[in-house]
């Protein structure tokens, strides 16, 4: 097998309790790289169009890329791929930490689950054996408690555990899969709900194998250069100090931060006093007690936060997306409330973006009289009500009362509520929008509308490129007007394709977004050092385009049409803080053309698929 790969896929049929191993095809590795590339091919081939997300014929695939678990800096990611219970289309989520590297060290690139166990089980993988273990004692535990209990009972304190909390067990459609004591989480698209449906509580791994590297001398050289850059570049050093909250102030100033379910432009009254209560360092800095890192990552952008309750000690600090989701988007200006909500989501196993966005949707419905206290169980679900926010997080995770409706996600909940509630559901394809208002940058609206998994920011967000960041090696123009639609179709395509390549390989996206590598060539040199395969920028973009189209084809197979490539109506007719609407109609046809898709149906043409090797 080429360098960077363990060369094996583990298959687990939970209905039959059958475990088997197959060889990873080298041609697949070269063509789809890894991560949601190779996993996406399995998903497309094996999940029939008629199968619901909650069906034994669905697949739940844990997957790594070739640079995962190696000495390549910032390459500690793993992903989880499935048919999403939230959208009904391609679903994937990724997480950092150490679980992915441990899986690679255990001798597997991917694990493919199908079927459904008759009782709760966990999969235990180590160098001696791979087995399904009774997980009934851990069912009902939160993810952090279960993680610790499982490792204690296995007698392996150093094992890494990916484990669902109560949200996954209760099939909350935006449940994620926490790992590393619920401090990291593969959050989006409801992957944790599929794991709960399968009665799979956890996947625990412990490995001692070393990943083969084709050119170790080159890897040492590249890794040293990247580490020197990370520890000396002023911008990256600032990112290390503040984490993703470094961008909160800037994002607010340009109109990118959603407020009150994307309905308002002010936060806390005249002068926006709520901003500084959350921003770094004035607000956010008050809860930060240190920093953490992921596998072989010199950036160390993770925060350690002091929990508001003394018995909780220190927790994982909330990221920008979480702060924006529970903060301005819900009208909350208490950083401690946001930290508490964030930790609850981690231990319950909830996607903070979808959770905050769905609660914000409910708050706007409440304030507009579509629901009242009789519906919410006595909770005054208004913007800015911190107690109501925390209470609703608990209710969603346990599907209690009104939380049972919100656990369906904002699209389904809006249909249940009716009376025009769908207007307030800020979702695309059923997935709640990431915490970036696309009215502040036209490329963002186009990307949100067209990305296969829904309103994601991790499949090719263009914000940085439309502000100050330039990438001449990718063919992106030096300067782009963020309010103009000109050139945005081509920009979005390039960024999406590049993102697909580096994500499938196993890199953390912050490596690219925070400019933690000197240039794009640094990615390719690291990839060559690990695998022995030299790519040009153009070849890498083509591979990314192949993976992106594979995901698109899965959606079409499962019923997606051009009508799904759209945005919430609010973003198309109401001006945001930046004073604009998204002019989607001006960009959509040009985007289809740039991708070689049929301009009428928005589907890839046979000719384009053939060129990409997706016949």
Give the tens place of pLDDT for each residue, 7-16: 999 999 999 9
What residues pair up with 344 in beta bridges, in sequence order?
A: none
Phi-psi region of 155 (alpha: psi -120 to 50; beta: other; left: phi over 0): left
User: H/E/C letters for each residue in 300-335?
Assistant: CCEEEEECCCHHHCEEECCCHHHHHHHCHHHCCCCH
**Are 468 and 514 spatial neighbours (Cβ–Cβ below 8 Å)?**
no
CA distance 375 to 365: 11
Give pLDDT, residue 341. Answer: 96
What residues pair up with 349 in beta bridges, in sequence order?
A: none
The strand pair at 78-83 and 90-95 is best described as antiparallel
CA distance 463 to 476: 13
Give pLDDT, residue 609. Answer: 97
Q: How far is CA 594 from CA 115, 122, 582, in A?
A: 40, 45, 19
Give pLDDT, residue 311. Answer: 57
**Are 207 and 125 spatial neighbours (Cβ–Cβ below 8 Å)?**
yes
Low-confidence ranges of the chain (pLDDT < 70): 307-312, 469-472, 478-479
**Are 124 and 204 spatial neighbours (Cβ–Cβ below 8 Å)?**
yes
CA 469 to chain centre: 22
First to last CA, the chain: 25
**Residues in the chain, total:** 615
CA distance 180 to 178: 7
**Are 468 and 567 spatial neighbours (Cβ–Cβ below 8 Å)?**
no
Q: Which CATH class is domain 244-425?
A: mainly alpha
Give pLDDT, residue 307. Answer: 65
Establish how many alpha carbons lie within 13 A of residue 25's alpha carbon, considering only the half-sphere containing its beta carbon. Answer: 9
Q: Extract the tokens encoding 289.
A: 């007690």
**Are 483 and 117 spatial neighbours (Cβ–Cβ below 8 Å)?**
no
Establish how many alpha carbons lie within 13 A of residue 200's alpha carbon, considering only the half-sphere containing its beta carbon. Answer: 33
Give pLDDT, residue 128. Answer: 82
Q: Extract the tokens encoding 514.
A: 């925070």
Q: Which CATH class is domain 8-205?
A: alpha beta
User: Tens digit of pLDDT for each residue in 324-360?
Assistant: 999 999 999 999 999 999 999 999 999 999 999 999 9
CA 189 to chain centre: 8
CATH number belonging to domain 438-514+536-611: 1.10.599.10
Q: How far is CA 25 from CA 7, 42, 101, 109, in A?
A: 8, 12, 20, 11
Residue extents of the structural domains in the chain: 8-205, 244-425, 438-514+536-611
pTM score > 0.85 for this model?
A: yes
Phi-psi region of 442 (alpha: psi -120 to 50; beta: other; left: phi over 0): alpha
The strand pair at 200-205 and 121-125 is best described as parallel
Q: Give the phi and the psi of residue 133 in degrees, each rounded to 5.
A: -120, 145
**Are 397 and 217 spatial neighbours (Cβ–Cβ below 8 Å)?**
no
Which helix (DSSP H) or strand (DSSP E) does residue 72 occupy?
none
Q: Extract the tokens encoding 285.
A: 């800095």
Coil vs helix vs strand at 186: strand
């Amino acid at each position: 097998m080429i360098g960077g790969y363990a060369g094996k896929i583990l298959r687990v049929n939970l209905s039959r309790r059958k475990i088997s191993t197959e060889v990873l095809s080298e041609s697949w590795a070269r063509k789809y790289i890894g991560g949601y590339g190779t996993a996406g091919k399995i998903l497309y081939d094996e999940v029939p169009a008629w199968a619901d997300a909650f069906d034994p014929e669905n697949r739940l695939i844990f997957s790594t890329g070739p640079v995962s678990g190696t000495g390549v800096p910032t390459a500690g990611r793993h992903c989880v791929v499935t048919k999403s219970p939230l959208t009904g289309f391609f679903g994937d989520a990724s997480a950092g930490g150490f679980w992915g590297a441990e899986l690679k060290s255990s001798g597997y690139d991917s694990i493919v689950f199908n079927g459904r166990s008759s009782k709760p089980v966990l999969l235990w993988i180590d160098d001696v054996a791979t087995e399904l273990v009774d997980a009934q004692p851990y069912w009902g535990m939160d993810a952090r408690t279960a993680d610790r209990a499982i490792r204690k009972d296995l007698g392996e304190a150093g094992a890494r555990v990916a484990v669902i909390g109560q949200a996954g067990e209760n099939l909350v459609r935006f449940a994620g899969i926490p790992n590393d004591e619920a401090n990291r989480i593969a959050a989006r698209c409801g992957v944790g709900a599929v794991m709960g449906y399968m009665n799979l509580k956890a996947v625990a791994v412990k490995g001692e194998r070393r990943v083969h590297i084709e050119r170790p001398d080159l890897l040492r050289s590249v890794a040293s250069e990247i580490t020197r850059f990370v520890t000396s570049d002023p911008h990256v050093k600032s990112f290390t100090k503040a984490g993703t909250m470094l961008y909160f102030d800037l994002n607010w100033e340009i109109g990118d931060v959603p407020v009150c379910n994307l309905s308002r432009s002010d936060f806390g009254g005249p002068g926006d006093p709520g901003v500084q209560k959350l921003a770094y360092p004035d607000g956010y800095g008050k809860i930060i007690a240190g920093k953490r890192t992921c596998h072989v990552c010199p950036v160390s952008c993770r925060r350690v936060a002091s929990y508001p309750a003394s018995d909780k000690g220190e927790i994982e600090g909330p990221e920008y997306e979480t702060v924006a989701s529970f903060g301005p988007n819900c009208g909350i200006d208490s950083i401690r409330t946001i930290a508490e909500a964030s930790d609850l989501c981690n231990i319950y196993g909830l996607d903070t973006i979808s959770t905050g966005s769905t609660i914000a949707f409910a708050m706007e419905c409440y304030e507009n009289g579509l629901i009242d206290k009789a519906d919410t169980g006595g909770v005054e679900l208004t913007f800015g009500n911190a107690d109501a926010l925390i209470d609703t997080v608990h209710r969603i995770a346990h599907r209690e009362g009104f939380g049972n409706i919100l656990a369906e996600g904002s699209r389904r909940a809006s249909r249940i509520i009716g009376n025009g509630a769908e207007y307030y559901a800020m979702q695309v394809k059923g997935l709640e929008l990431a915490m970036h208002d696309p009215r502040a940058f036209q490329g963002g609206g186009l990307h949100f509308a067209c990305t296969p998994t829904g309103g994601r920011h991790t499949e090719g967000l263009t914000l940085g490129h439309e502000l100050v960041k330039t990438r001449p090696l990718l063919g992106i123009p030096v300067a782009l007007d963020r309010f103009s639609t000109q050139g945005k179709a081509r920009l979005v395509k390039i960024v999406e394709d590049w993102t697909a390549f580096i994500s499938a390989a196993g890199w953390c996206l912050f490596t690219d977004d925070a400019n933690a590598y000197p240039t794009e060539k640094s990615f390719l040199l690291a990839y060559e050092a690990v695998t022995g395969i030299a790519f040009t920028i153009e070849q890498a973009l083509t591979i990314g385009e192949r993976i992106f189209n594979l995901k698109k084809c899965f959606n079409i197979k499962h019923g997606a049409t051009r009508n799904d490539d759209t945005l919430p109506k609010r973003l198309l007719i109401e001006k945001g803080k930046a004073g604009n609407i998204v002019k989607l109609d001006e960009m959509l046809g040009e985007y289809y053309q740039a991708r070689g898709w049929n301009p009428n149906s928005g589907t890839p043409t046979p000719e384009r698929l053939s060129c990409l090797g997706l016949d």
